[in-house]
Structure 1
Amino acid sequence: MTSSIARESQAPGIVSLTTDYGLADGFVAACHGVITRLGPALRIIDVTHLVPPGDVRRGGAVLAQTVPYLPPGVHVAVVDPGVGTNRRGVALSTPAGTLVGPDNGLLLDAAEALGGLTGAVELTNPRWLAPRVSATFHGRDVFAPVAARLALGAPLVEAGPAIDPESLVRLPAPLVRRLPDGFVAEVLTVDHFGNVQLAAPAELLDPLPARVRVSPETGDRTACGLAAESGPRDGGGWEREVVHGRTFGDAPVGALVAHADSAGRVALSVNGGHAAELLAVAPGTLLRVRGSGVVGDAPGQQA
């Protein structure tokens, strides 16, 4: 009888793709084609190809929040405004999979989500790349063929020389600051539904009351936490009262709810609406969430 371990070892390799290529052109299909020509039995999972163009932080967040739920495999991410420059192409090993993409900070949160970085190589072996590498399409000519070879079982060390993990490019850490009456946090991402994900972990919301106040945090980003500790700041002219709930339906239709999202972060949502539009916020906006204060006018709120 064939053991479950043996059956698992015979399963086709997995390659996932996360890009900002969109769906109107042939870029995604070209990457699929390169992978399947090298490994016809490989399974390809398309995470998304609708990352906003060049938005490395959004791409990294989507990747990190998705890969723990994918089968172990090789995860390619391409959000690469520096393509063709001296930025490196890299492959990163983790206990639960391999990440392939540009060295621009895109991959590192996903590496942590897969158990932590255990090694890194620069993709320089010409035998692993397309015969002619385009200066503007490394997804097709570099990352796809490398991913296929790794998913077929080739050793990572053959892709190129080892590099110091400390030399990898890292994105600036999103701002999160705990305050006596709540917290200040940067908007990390806005999803397809308009839900506003903050960089704050969900446990910062737990001790706050059933209704909280949300307002923009103004001033110098590097100093705002210190200044906020001395007392309330000018909230930029508006403040919203928000239901502190568990899910969208805990607020009336059209009303805001602050909740823990599926990634374990604080999120602001509108029951049946678009929170980012209602609050006029975008990734990088700083918001203060607190448990007391006076409600004023906000975008979309009647006086």
Structure 2
Amino acid sequence: MSAFPEQTFASGYKIPCVGLGTWKSKPGEVGAAVKSAIRIGYRHLDCALVYGNEKEIGQAIKECIDEGLVKREDLFITTKLWNTYHRAARVAEGCQESLDNLGLDYIDLYLIHWPLPLRENAGLFPLTEDGLTDVIDIDFTETWTAMQDLVDQGLCRSIGVSNFNSKQIQRLIDLGLKHPISCNQVEISPYISNEKLLQFCKSKDITVVAYSPLGSADRPWAKPDDPVLLEEPAILKIAARHKKSAGQVILRWGVQRGYIVIPKSVSEARQKQNFEIFDFTLDDEEMNVIHGMNRNFRVCVWNRAGAYHSPYYPFHEEF
């Protein structure tokens, strides 16, 4: 791997502190975005089966390797098990589908995308007759046990979870772990600082990766009166002081708090900005100003029909 700042998982593998997010990157755009990011120096790509763009990402990775820009071992690839593959017998199937899409022999980090199991063989977002998300009862401990087998089979190097709360993580720990929970990927931004969960994960030697670190203003369900993180006057003032963009300040705030950031962008200029956050430091006062913006405003609660009725819905808990 490069000399770029990294963290070390409990599994012993290293993860670059900045990655390229690919959620909401459209087919026809995401391949070019991956290639420009790799040219800039990104070596960490965050993917998921449900994003529907793994095949194009895989083709872009292949082209970069064929062109001699990188080797496979230079890259850190994350992808995620979707909710319709939670039954133990289907976990390897979900993993293999992503491997085939991406054209890879192994995944660096494989995550349970949500603790919410959904009805199988009815599309990625199955609905009940009354229009709710069609959740079923498969305990995520069953899913985790099968995830550990994937490491033994060499299909992935590190495993973890996403959108799990502290009680759900503790349940996994209490099982006795054959392989460590290397990561919890959750939403963190100045609008949802997630401080308690961040500190809990640190205490368990679980690396935290923050999705939507810039607030995902392009989310399809945004309301006109929702706050826009990149337009916060206090952040713009700090950015001007450092001659940086608002996005760079927010990402810097994140890495100084000790977590990995995966901003999504298909713009080469914006990708370059998001990558250049290690040549300045925020002082304590600036960190506190940004921290004070927390309003527990979560942009990703569950972006389809409600799943609040599931006993595994993670956000009933405070953290």
Higher RCO (Cα < 8 Å, 6 or more apart): 2
When you count helix as a share of all residues, which structure comes out higher?
2
* Shorter-chain TM-score above 0.5: no
With structure 2 as the length reference, what TM-score do the two structures score? 0.26
With structure 1 as the length reference, what TM-score do the two structures score? 0.27
When you count strand as a share of all residues, which structure comes out higher?
1
Larger C-alpha radius of gyration, 1 or 2?
1
